[in-house]
Copies of this chain bind each other. A is one copy, B any other.
């Protein structure tokens, strides 16, 4: 047994329907993982099921609960700087109860809670596409456009918690249709999956062409593009243009080492990477023109990586 056997970490990603758990070495290797399906995490029976599943995960690898130095839990909702949890609209979860139960079972472990988008950002920083960067911006192109801004290895939450709200950078001052936030011309209106679908329909309308069925979302637009559809090409170009404008703004302010693209739309990253990079070069200050723009590499495991990393930082801070 090596030097760090007693410094293992657990990363736990709590989603709407299931829990993902990963066992990590101190160095960031994912040693084992499993999905745990539980009822709502609001009472001791459910907590016990989680503890049991985690213990089994360890046992399979020949480890004990006492080998765990830190546990990170990411949740789909806001977490304040002091670790307290805000309103969770999408999930039944008693975070304090779960923490207390884990603290009983894993007596040695430091336990931390963080937001899921922040966890994914940390995951990419620790072992993903941003590995080795001190500063980068994680951009999720999904139902909305979210983000995580990391400066000098730390997530920037901001004075009012608006750090990383890059979906709400104004990129089109001429927009007349309001964003969910009430303002006009936010990046999210053009670079989310929903936004891309809307741009496609608008392009079809302008061309007098019939739009395809887009009930499956952005994937339909990418299929149209693959089939040579001009409206899909125009829509994607607009998306790239607005992303490039927002990236250029960020370069003039914090000059990150990389932009890392995640979220559902990033599945088609290869299709638009060149155009996005070209448009960014056209907008950015010359010294920033070659900033890396890459796809996130951990996919839906970013959360367990990032949770474990946050736990690692917490154990380091305690030493």
A residues apposed to B, CB below 8 Å: 133, 135, 149, 151-152, 154, 156-166, 168-170, 173, 181-183, 245, 248-257, 283, 285-288, 291
In the complex, chain B residues whose CB is within 8 Å of the CB of A166 = 252-253
Looking at the complex, which one of B157, B252, B291 makes contact with A169 (CB distance below 8 Å)?
B252
How far does the alpha carbon of A181 sit from the alpha carbon of B285 in the complex, in Å? 8
Looking at the complex, which one of B133, B164, B287 makes contact with A162 (CB distance below 8 Å)?
B287
In the complex, chain B residues whose CB is within 8 Å of the CB of A255 = 156-163, 165
Tell me if B288 and A164 are in contact (CB < 8 A): no
Known: A169-B249, A170-B248, A249-B170. A159 touches B135 (CB 8 A): yes
In the complex, chain B residues whose CB is within 8 Å of the CB of A135 = 156, 158-159
Tell me if A291 and B159 are in contact (CB < 8 A): yes
Interface on chain A toward B: helix, strand, loop, or mixed SS? loop
Shortest CB-to-CB span from A21 to chain B, Å, is 31
Tell me if A183 and B285 are in contact (CB < 8 A): yes
Known: A149-B254, A166-B252. A160 touches B245 (CB 8 A): no
Tell me if A181 and B253 are in contact (CB < 8 A): no
How far does the alpha carbon of A183 sit from the alpha carbon of B249 in the complex, in Å? 13
Q: Which one of A162, A168, A283, A288 has the greatest number of beta carbons of chain B within 10 Å?
A: A162
**A/B interface sample: 22 pairs, CB < 8 A:** A135-B156, A149-B253, A151-B152, A151-B254, A152-B154, A157-B255, A158-B255, A159-B256, A159-B288, A159-B291, A161-B255, A162-B252, A162-B255, A162-B285, A162-B288, A163-B253, A163-B254, A165-B255, A169-B252, A170-B249, A181-B286, A183-B285
Known: A135-B158, A159-B288, A162-B255. 14 other contacts (CB 8 A): A149-B253, A151-B152, A151-B156, A156-B254, A158-B255, A162-B287, A162-B288, A163-B255, A164-B253, A166-B252, A170-B249, A173-B173, A182-B286, A249-B249
How far does the alpha carbon of A161 sit from the alpha carbon of B169 in the complex, in Å? 23
In the complex, chain B residues whose CB is within 8 Å of the CB of A291 = 159-160
Nearest to A184 among chain B residues (CB) is B283
Tell me if B254 and A160 are in contact (CB < 8 A): no
Known: A152-B154, A287-B162. A169 touches B253 (CB 8 A): yes
In the complex, chain B residues whose CB is within 8 Å of the CB of A182 = 286
How far does the alpha carbon of A251 sit from the alpha carbon of B163 in the complex, in Å? 7
Task: Give me the 7 closest cross-chain CB pairs, A-B, nearest first.
Answer: A158-B255, A162-B255, A159-B257, A160-B287, A163-B255, A165-B252, A151-B151
Nearest to A187 among chain B residues (CB) is B252
In the complex, chain B residues whose CB is within 8 Å of the CB of A249 = 169-170, 249, 253
Nearest to A287 among chain B residues (CB) is B160
Tell me if B252 and A254 are in contact (CB < 8 A): no
Shortest CB-to-CB span from A159 to chain B, Å, is 4
Tell me if A287 and B163 are in contact (CB < 8 A): no
Shortest CB-to-CB span from A260 to chain B, Å, is 14
